[in-house]
Each structure stands twice: as C-alpha cells, then as structure tokens.
Amino acid sequence: MSSFVWHPYTQMKDWPKFDVISKGKGMWLYDSHGNALMDGVASMWCNVWGHSNKELTDSMIKQTRKLQHSSLFNLTNDKAEELAEKLIKLAPEMYRVFYSDDGSTAMEISAKMALQYWHNIGERKKTKFVSLENGYHGDTTGTMSLGYVPSFFSKFKPMLFPVLRTPSPNRYRIPKGYSFDDYQEFCLEKIEQTFSKNNNIAAFVMESGAQIAGGVVVYPEGFQKKISKMCKKHNILFILDEIATGFGRLGSMIEYQNQESIPDIVSFGKMLSGGYLSLAATLASKKIYDSFLGEYKDMKHFFHGHTFTGNPLACATALTNLSLYKKYNLISKIKKRAIQIQSRIEEISNLDLVGDVRHKGMLMGIELVSNKKTKTQVSPQKRLPQKIFTEAKKHGIYQRTLGNIVMVIPPLAISERELDFLLDGTIKTIKNIAFHV
C-alpha cells in the first residue's frame, strides 16, 4: 500500500512504509495485521489511561451527541466553563484560563500574553525573552525562538526572533573543572547577571521540573524556585511550560507546586485530555488578567483566538479525565510506579552503551554513548534511532528515541506488570543493539 502521509521529524527515505495502527486497547496498539505493540511513549507523551478507556470514550460519545463545537467568540459553552473552573481550583494562584489546540499554541499564547501585559501597563520597552539552553516549547515560530534546540531548529534561524539564553544544569555534560553543585550555581549566576544587565526583559520561560525534548534534564532541587525568586526581584514575568511535565508525568499534578515556584503564566496540554483529543490551556494570574481590562477603545483586550478555542468535546473529555485522576487516585499510583522505575536504574546504567540514566516520576531518559568514559556521542551514521525502534518492536514495544536518548515515558496508569514488560523489553533492546553500534 502506498502512503501519501509525510511524517513528523522523519527521514522519509528511510521509511517507505510504517506499521498502520488501527486499534488501541489499554497499553497496547494493534496494527492492521493484528500485531500488538506496547505504547512505550504514551503516544508522544500524552496518554494517561491507555487506549479506548471506556469512561473516557463514553463521555466523548455523550458529548458528541450534544454539542461538537461552538466557538468562544461572543459565546461560551458549558464544558469550557466547567473545565476552566476546575483548572483554576487545581493550579495555585492562577485566575483565568485561555484555551488553545496544542502545546505549541499554548506557549505561543503565553509569550503574546506576556508582551501584551507590559504593553497594557505602559512598559513598552520590556520586550525581550530569556530562556534556558536546550529548552523546548513547540514547533511554531514563536516557540522555536523561545525553546531553541539547535539540532532541530538551526535551519529556521532566519525566521526566529532573538532570545537571551542561559545554560541548563545537565549533570551529565558539565564543563570541565566544575562539580555539579558549582555548575548549578554557575547557571543561576548567569540568569542573575542577564537579569541585572538588561532592563528590557519581558519574561523568563522554562519547562517546569525538567526539560524533555532538549535532552531530558531533570532540574536539581531548588533550581526552579530560585529562578522564580529572581524573576520577582527583577520584575520579570515567570512563564512555565507544564505541557509535558504537569498532570502527573513527574509525579505531581501541578509540578510548579512541587517546585515551590509560582508562575505568572503557565501552560498545560498533552495529558489534559487524557491524550485523546488536542487541547491545551494557558493559565494566567490575576495581575496578568487585570491588565487586559479597560475601555474597548484602549484596545487592551487579548488579540488571540483559534477556531477550536475551548472546543466542548475536548473540554468534556478533559473533565472526565480529571475526575478519573481523583477516582483512581492516580498520583499515588504514579509514585509507586516511579519507585519501580528507580529500582531498575542501576541495572540499566550498567549496560554497555548506557552513559547516563535520568529519571523523575514517569519519565526516564537513557542516554546512549559510544564510549562511556569519554561520553562520546554515537554518530548519526549509526542510525541509532532507527535501530532502537526496529529492535524494540521485536520485544513488543513501540519506542521512539530522542536522538540517542531512549525514552521510557509510558501511559501514566500503566500497571506494575506492564511496566516490568516495558522495562525488560527496553533492557533487551539496548543489550541487542550494543552488538550493532
């Protein structure tokens, strides 16, 4: 069968054909031949309950019969209202919810909100953004500018706006002569210096708790809290991206609460709808929201909106998803699964090729290197991502690497036995690959 689909982040020359997934049940994806694959990456880090969860699909069917879409321009809908109220109750110090379709647009919105905030209060010089090196906030122009992963985005530089960047505390690749503690301090000092030297900064933007796409960097304790304090001290807005790390991925419902770092603006996506429909939300504090109020002629209102902003079907699904977190006590289950992952780290670290294992909650990144001592990266000529994908399939797993980092990022409700299957298969995959690298 020929295909007319152009796949994301994919060298199409290597992939004339992909397996066609036609069914999902629980942690498993089934291809058109009936072969089962465990969803080891939660269908791009968003699936919470596994596939075809009856409570979620029932609520989707119910809502589909009632109202599929109605716009938030001059109207509202019951599900968007209910969900916004729930999110505001959940997210400390947040005041209003702005809906969008995906993580990239949610982060694009957070940047626009920050800029317009300063504009609205008359501080027109505050227009620059600062972010961490190797942050990732999406693939649209604004978000590629904010979160710049050089290997992804260098080609697009001509269309990006300049952003000031400070180093990220990657404990595996710290410059020579530093201890990790010293390096963390160095990273924080760089932020302090950047804030002190520039009086035109609108906002500091970072992923909450950990960077994922830029290399799986779990922040050391206190790092994010210190940045939030610096932002307050220098009158700079603090924008957090919880699209991939909130809603339990790192073990907390709201990661910024765990990090004791209250943002001015924060975005959620991916797991918000249980991973079933495209939905994201940008939440703002009262200070931000109030600056958008005024006379119509002042044009202070927020100039942003999408066709599907606040789609009732997506919001209804998110509401059911949130109720299931409570009903099944998901966060405490995640904590148990996180301990299970932790208990296998030594075994994984000892494998050939494994340079470093970075883990928090239901996120694990296993960085493969060609030389453990020198930490030499595996050359792209070895086509490691393709080899890992093909080998993992032999062990019944759908695995997608991030370059040379093997990602274990399962649906959050995975059972103990299923997680063992995933970890065993990952270990076998890495062992077998070692012969070919």
Ligand X SMILES: Cc1ncc(COP(=O)(O)O)c(C=O)c1O
Smaller CB separation from ligand X, 107 or 354: 107
Q: How many whole angstroms separate alpha carbon 411 and alpha carbon 121?
A: 43
Cβ 102 to ligand X, closest distance in Å? 4
Q: How many whole angstroms separate alpha carbon 323 and alpha carbon 273?
A: 11
Q: How many whole angstroms separate alpha carbon 31 and alpha carbon 72?
A: 38
For 101-257, where are the E strands, in sequence order?
Answer: 128-132, 164-166, 201-207, 210-211, 217-218, 237-241
Where do contacts with ligand X occur on this chain (CB under 6 A)? 102-104, 107, 136-138, 207, 212-213, 241, 243-244, 269
Smaller CB separation from ligand X, 136 or 148: 136
Largest Cα–Cα distance in the chain? 69
Helices and strands: H and E segment counts in the chain: 15, 17
Cβ 46 to ligand X, closest distance in Å? 8
Cβ 74 to ligand X, closest distance in Å? 27
Cβ 308 to ligand X, closest distance in Å? 13
Burial grade of 99 (CB within 10 A; 0-12, 13-18, 19 or more): buried
Q: How many whole angstroms separate alpha carbon 237 and alpha carbon 203?
A: 4
Cβ-closest residue to ligand X? 103
Q: How many whole angstroms separate alpha carbon 47 and alpha carbon 249?
A: 10
Smaller CB separation from ligand X, 102 or 264: 102
Cβ 239 to ligand X, closest distance in Å? 11
Smaller CB separation from ligand X, 103 or 312: 103
Residue 284 in contact with residue 95, Cβ under 8 Å?
yes
Cβ 241 to ligand X, closest distance in Å? 5
Name the CA dihedral angle for 279, 283, 288, 292, rounded to a multiple of 10 degrees.
Answer: 40
Q: What is the DSSP string of 16-30?
A: S----EEEEEBTEEE
Smaller CB separation from ligand X, 120 or 228: 228
Cβ contacts of 74 within 8 Å, gap of 6 or more: none
Identity of the amino acid at 357:
V
Cβ 389 to ligand X, closest distance in Å? 18
Cβ 326 to ligand X, closest distance in Å? 25
Smaller CB separation from ligand X, 119 or 306: 306
Q: How many CA atoms lie within 13 A of 208 on its CB side?
A: 34
Smaller CB separation from ligand X, 146 or 433: 146
Residue 106 in contact with residue 147, Cβ under 8 Å?
no
Cβ 9 to ligand X, closest distance in Å? 11
Residue with tokens 């059911």: 320
Smaller CB separation from ligand X, 214 or 425: 214
Cβ 107 to ligand X, closest distance in Å? 5
Cβ 113 to ligand X, closest distance in Å? 16
Burial grade of 89 (CB within 10 A; 0-12, 13-18, 19 or more): exposed
Smaller CB separation from ligand X, 169 or 269: 269
Q: Is the dihedral of CA 284, 239, 217, 137 positive or negative?
A: positive
Smaller CB separation from ligand X, 138 or 385: 138
Residue 64 in contact with residue 56, Cβ under 8 Å?
no
Which letter does DSSP use for residue 14 in this model?
G
Residue 433 in contact with residue 387, Cβ under 8 Å?
yes
Q: Is the dihedral of CA 249, 206, 215, 274 positive or negative?
A: positive
Smaller CB separation from ligand X, 271 or 341: 271
